[in-house]
Structure 1
Amino acid sequence: MSTQAVKKTKKGTAQKSLEESFLELCRLIAETDDERFIRDFFGCLFTPAERKDFANRWLLVKEIDKGTTQREIARRFGMSLCKITRGSRELHKDGSAFRRMLEKLKSKQTQTK
């Protein structure tokens, strides 16, 4: 097998392992209903900067959903227009996971009122 073919095989195997690990984490989190445990797990998994980015992405999706302009979001929260545009594009896709999560949030908020 050529060196190039070995590199492609290793890269493909590594990519598959990454995807399997990601799916495994998604399944485990979906099965967990302990908010504190999930928060602690994310605290271990992500650096403070990564947690901030994670929270900022959710914040921008909620702001877009409220009708806040992209420029206003950028100004108020110091986010790049590129990142905001990506979030907006994902939110407006058919079957958007962002949209479904927002509906879940709104449903919870309605139940607690």
Structure 2
Amino acid sequence: MEAIIAGSCTEVSEVFAAERDPARIREFFSCLFTPSEVREFSLRWALVNEMLAGKTQREIARRYGMSLCKITRGSRELKRENSPFRRMIEMHNELQKRRTGKNGKN
């Protein structure tokens, strides 16, 4: 069973890496996940962005109505060496800079 799960996770990851249209991925999310699950992972993404922007865990907890435990998990992930979450956030930030022309190119 674990091999099936690992293989399926790899397949989905490969499809996400190949798909260049965020709308299609979001549409897929709405098929694959419940609205509650989409909300949860979207909030997790938002809270990690807030942490990287310098907000305190308590500020984030108040803003999003989340427990400190959930926020602490995100904080620990960001502190990990070579954090995949940090890499994805940094990639997102770089994409945003390119879109808005903040890196001097457009």
Give the TM-score normalised by the residue count of structure 2. 0.89
1: CA distance, partners of 2:8 / 2:73: 25
SS at match of 2:55: coil
Identity %: 51
Higher helix share: 1
Tell me what 1:41 maps to: 28
1: CA distance, partners of 2:31 / 2:9: 16
Aligned-CA RMSD value: 1.0
SS at match of 2:80: coil
Residue ranges of structure 2 left out of the alignment (5+ in a row): 102-106
2: CA distance, partners of 1:48 / 1:87: 21
Tell me what 1:11 maps to: none
Question: Matched residue pairs, number?
Answer: 100
Tell me what 1:3 maps to: none
Tell me what 1:22 maps to: 9
Give the 5 Å matches for 1:1-113.
Answer: 14-111=1-98, 112-113=100-101
Residue ranges of structure 1 left out of the alignment (5+ in a row): 1-13
2: CA distance, partners of 1:76 / 1:46: 24
Tell me what 2:104 maps to: none
Q: How far does the alpha carbon of each residue in 1:77-100 deviate from its partner, in whole angstroms, 9 at most, with x for none?
A: 011111100101101111111211
Instruction: Mark the structure with the bigger radius of gyration.
Output: 1
CA shift, 1:68, in A, is 0.6
Q: Which runs of 4+ in 1 moved over 3 A?
A: none
